Amino acid sequence: MKRLTRILGIALTAAFLSVGVASAASLGLATGKLGAGSVAVSGCTSSSLTATRNVDNNGNVTQVNVLSVPQACAGQTLAVTLENSSHTSLGAASAPVGTCTGGCTATVAGFGTVSAANVTAYSLSLTQ
Protein backbone atom coordinates (compact mmCIF):
# COMPACT_ATOMS: atom_id res chain seq x y z
CA MET A 1 0.00 0.00 0.00
CA LYS A 2 2.84 2.38 0.90
CA ARG A 3 4.52 1.66 -2.39
CA LEU A 4 1.36 2.32 -4.35
CA THR A 5 0.88 5.66 -2.59
CA ARG A 6 4.45 6.66 -3.38
CA ILE A 7 4.09 5.71 -7.03
CA LEU A 8 0.81 7.57 -7.37
CA GLY A 9 2.34 10.63 -5.71
CA ILE A 10 5.23 10.67 -8.14
CA ALA A 11 2.85 10.21 -11.07
CA LEU A 12 0.62 13.10 -9.96
CA THR A 13 3.60 15.41 -9.42
CA ALA A 14 4.98 14.56 -12.83
CA ALA A 15 1.57 15.15 -14.41
CA PHE A 16 1.16 18.61 -12.86
CA LEU A 17 4.66 19.59 -13.89
CA SER A 18 4.00 18.50 -17.45
CA VAL A 19 0.81 20.61 -17.56
CA GLY A 20 2.79 23.63 -16.38
CA VAL A 21 5.44 23.12 -19.03
CA ALA A 22 2.81 22.67 -21.74
CA SER A 23 1.03 25.89 -20.76
CA ALA A 24 4.26 27.85 -20.60
CA ALA A 25 5.23 26.58 -24.02
CA SER A 26 1.85 27.61 -25.43
CA LEU A 27 2.28 31.10 -24.00
CA GLY A 28 5.75 31.38 -25.43
CA LEU A 29 7.18 32.05 -22.02
CA ALA A 30 10.25 29.91 -22.33
CA THR A 31 12.38 33.02 -22.72
CA GLY A 32 9.81 35.70 -22.08
CA LYS A 33 8.93 37.70 -19.02
CA LEU A 34 5.76 38.95 -17.42
CA GLY A 35 4.96 42.66 -17.33
CA ALA A 36 2.77 44.22 -14.68
CA GLY A 37 -0.63 45.14 -16.04
CA SER A 38 0.04 43.33 -19.27
CA VAL A 39 -0.19 39.82 -20.56
CA ALA A 40 2.88 37.96 -21.73
CA VAL A 41 5.56 40.32 -22.93
CA SER A 42 8.11 39.02 -25.33
CA GLY A 43 9.44 39.83 -28.71
CA CYS A 44 9.33 43.20 -30.40
CA THR A 45 8.08 45.50 -27.64
CA SER A 46 7.05 45.64 -24.02
CA SER A 47 5.72 49.19 -24.20
CA SER A 48 2.08 50.25 -24.10
CA LEU A 49 2.12 52.05 -27.42
CA THR A 50 -0.13 55.06 -27.98
CA ALA A 51 -3.19 54.62 -30.16
CA THR A 52 -5.24 57.31 -31.85
CA ARG A 53 -8.27 57.07 -34.08
CA ASN A 54 -9.66 58.91 -37.04
CA VAL A 55 -13.33 59.67 -37.50
CA ASP A 56 -15.56 60.55 -40.41
CA ASN A 57 -17.74 63.62 -40.30
CA ASN A 58 -20.48 61.62 -38.56
CA GLY A 59 -18.11 60.92 -35.70
CA ASN A 60 -17.73 57.21 -36.51
CA VAL A 61 -14.34 55.57 -36.13
CA THR A 62 -12.72 54.93 -39.50
CA GLN A 63 -9.37 53.61 -38.32
CA VAL A 64 -7.10 53.23 -35.31
CA ASN A 65 -3.45 54.18 -35.60
CA VAL A 66 -0.85 52.79 -33.25
CA LEU A 67 2.14 55.08 -33.14
CA SER A 68 5.85 54.32 -32.88
CA VAL A 69 5.57 50.57 -33.38
CA PRO A 70 9.13 49.18 -33.36
CA GLN A 71 10.44 47.87 -36.63
CA ALA A 72 10.92 44.50 -34.98
CA CYS A 73 7.13 44.10 -34.84
CA ALA A 74 6.84 43.89 -38.61
CA GLY A 75 4.91 40.80 -39.62
CA GLN A 76 3.06 40.51 -36.34
CA THR A 77 -0.68 40.99 -36.15
CA LEU A 78 -2.09 44.02 -34.37
CA ALA A 79 -5.59 43.47 -33.02
CA VAL A 80 -7.72 46.34 -31.72
CA THR A 81 -11.01 46.19 -29.84
CA LEU A 82 -13.03 49.35 -29.28
CA GLU A 83 -14.63 49.22 -25.84
CA ASN A 84 -17.33 51.18 -24.07
CA SER A 85 -17.26 52.17 -20.42
CA SER A 86 -18.27 48.64 -19.40
CA HIS A 87 -15.36 47.25 -21.44
CA THR A 88 -17.86 45.69 -23.81
CA SER A 89 -16.63 45.37 -27.36
CA LEU A 90 -18.19 47.83 -29.80
CA GLY A 91 -16.10 46.60 -32.70
CA ALA A 92 -12.88 44.76 -33.41
CA ALA A 93 -10.43 44.48 -36.26
CA SER A 94 -6.88 43.42 -36.91
CA ALA A 95 -4.15 43.93 -39.45
CA PRO A 96 -0.56 42.86 -39.97
CA VAL A 97 2.15 45.31 -39.00
CA GLY A 98 3.96 46.29 -42.16
CA THR A 99 7.66 46.76 -42.64
CA CYS A 100 9.09 50.23 -42.35
CA THR A 101 12.19 52.08 -41.31
CA GLY A 102 12.35 53.21 -37.71
CA GLY A 103 9.12 53.59 -35.73
CA CYS A 104 6.08 52.59 -37.74
CA THR A 105 2.47 53.68 -37.53
CA ALA A 106 0.30 50.60 -37.74
CA THR A 107 -3.23 51.18 -38.98
CA VAL A 108 -6.26 49.00 -38.35
CA ALA A 109 -9.58 49.66 -40.09
CA GLY A 110 -12.89 47.89 -40.55
CA PHE A 111 -14.65 48.30 -37.21
CA GLY A 112 -18.10 48.76 -38.71
CA THR A 113 -20.16 51.72 -37.61
CA VAL A 114 -18.88 52.68 -34.17
CA SER A 115 -19.46 56.15 -32.77
CA ALA A 116 -16.23 57.53 -31.33
CA ALA A 117 -18.26 59.19 -28.59
CA ASN A 118 -19.08 55.74 -27.17
CA VAL A 119 -15.50 54.47 -27.20
CA THR A 120 -13.78 54.88 -23.85
CA ALA A 121 -10.89 52.44 -24.26
CA TYR A 122 -8.84 50.54 -26.77
CA SER A 123 -7.82 46.98 -26.04
CA LEU A 124 -4.79 46.12 -28.16
CA SER A 125 -2.59 43.11 -28.70
CA LEU A 126 0.30 41.96 -30.84
CA THR A 127 0.34 38.32 -31.82
CA GLN A 128 2.44 36.11 -34.05
For residue 47, the SS3 value is coil
Those residues whose C-beta lies under 8 Å from the C-beta of residue 49, and which sit 6 or more positions away, are 66, 67, 68, 69, 124
Scanning residues 8 to 27, which ones bind another protein (CB under 8 A)?
Answer: 8, 10-12, 14-16, 18-19, 22-23, 26-27
In whole angstroms, the minimum distance from the beta carbon of 115 to another protein comes to 8
- Cβ distance 85 to 41 under 8 Å? no
**Per CB under 8 A, 74 contacts another protein:** no
Q: Which of 31, 33, 36, 58 binds another protein (CB under 8 A)?
A: 58
**Per CB under 8 A, 4 contacts another protein:** yes
Q: What angle do CA 27, 41, 123 make, to 5 degrees?
A: 95
- Cβ distance 81 to 111 under 8 Å? no
**Per CB under 8 A, 116 contacts another protein:** yes
d(CA 65, CA 119): 15
Q: Which of 34, 46, 89, 100 binds another protein (CB under 8 A)?
A: 46
Q: Which positions lie near another protein, rule CB under 8 A?
A: 1, 3-4, 7-8, 10-12, 14-16, 18-19, 22-23, 26-28, 37-46, 48-59, 67, 76-77, 83, 115-117, 119-128
